[in-house]
Amino acid sequence: MKRTVLLAALAVVAGGCGAHLRGWQEETLATHDAQLAFDAGKEVLSRHFELGETSWTRGTIETKPRAFDKKGLETLADLRGGGGGWRRMAVCEFDRDGLSIVARVAVRLERQASPQAMEAAQQGEEGPGREVPSSVPRGYAEGSQGDRDVWTDAGYDDAMARELLGEIVERVRQMEAGEALPKDQTPGEALEEGKRIGAEQGF
């Protein structure tokens, strides 16, 4: 029952796209302490995003969208002057599997629809690489200030989701062991340092 509620929460965050669960990255954590896992998730996500809604009772952490540059991947929409900015937002959930705690992370990608892209949508322009809505969003008016704030779903950033999940796994391990992070070191950097030391020692 709890898992159904948590998946429904992602569907709301993803703008009704909860069926695309390929975006989830999943890992069983080395702890039975749900509060510790939740705190680790908040700590890690807050290093990359501004936190949005969090719910201990539902076991979910949501972030606010954060803009980023996606260089070297121009689409046809970009070449036509209809491309816009990019942003990411992350969702993390925790669930029990027997005595174990499972963490899941998904990072959603969104593309900004520029005024040119919205005009192309109004004219019914189609073709490969088109990254504009199939229809003009309700309330859109040509030349309005609001046309700069239309964001469309662009899939998931699985690589970043795996990176965040790896940091959560490492932070949980550290917290269980009572280890403090070295000053100015993130959980991700601690994870890479552990891998480097392991490789040097032949593990």
Query: pLDDT per residue over 54-113, tens digit each?
Result: 999 999 999 999 998 876 556 666 665 566 788 999 999 999 999 899 999 999 999 887
The number of domains in the chain is: 1
Average pLDDT in the chain: 74
Q: Which of 9-23, 35-49, 179-193 has the lowest mean pLDDT?
A: 9-23
More confident residue, 187 or 83: 83
Q: Would residue 194 count as lying in a domain? A: no
Q: Would residue 199 count as lying in a domain? A: no
Range of the domain at 122: 2-180
Predicted TM-score of the model (pTM): 0.65
Q: What average pLDDT score do residues 28-38 get?
A: 95
Q: Would residue 95 count as lying in a domain? A: yes
Q: Would residue 82 count as lying in a domain? A: yes
3-state secondary structure the chain: CHHHHHHHHHHHHCCCCCCCHHHCEEEEECCCCHHHHHHHHHHHHHHHCCEEEEECCCCEEEECCEEECCCCCCCHHHHCCCCCCEEEEEEEEEEEECCEEEEEEEEEEEEECCHHHHHHHHCCCCCCCCCCCCCCCCCCCCCCHHHHHCEEEEEECHHHHHHHHHHHHHHHHHHHCCCCCCCCCCHHHHHHHHHHHHHHCCC
Q: Would residue 202 count as lying in a domain? A: no
More confident residue, 156 or 111: 156
Q: Would residue 201 count as lying in a domain? A: no
Q: Would residue 35 count as lying in a domain? A: yes
Query: What pLDDT score was predicted for residue 153?
Result: 87
Query: What pLDDT score was predicted for residue 31?
Result: 94
Query: pLDDT per residue over 45-70, tens digit each?
Result: 999 999 999 999 999 999 999 998 87
Whether pLDDT at 13 is above 50: no
pLDDT above 90 covers what percent of the chain? 42
More confident residue, 147 or 100: 100
Query: What pLDDT score was predicted for residue 94?
Result: 97
Query: What pLDDT score was predicted for residue 87?
Result: 92
Q: Would residue 190 count as lying in a domain? A: no
Domain of 72: which CATH number? 3.30.530.50
Q: What average pLDDT score do residues 154-180 get?
A: 92
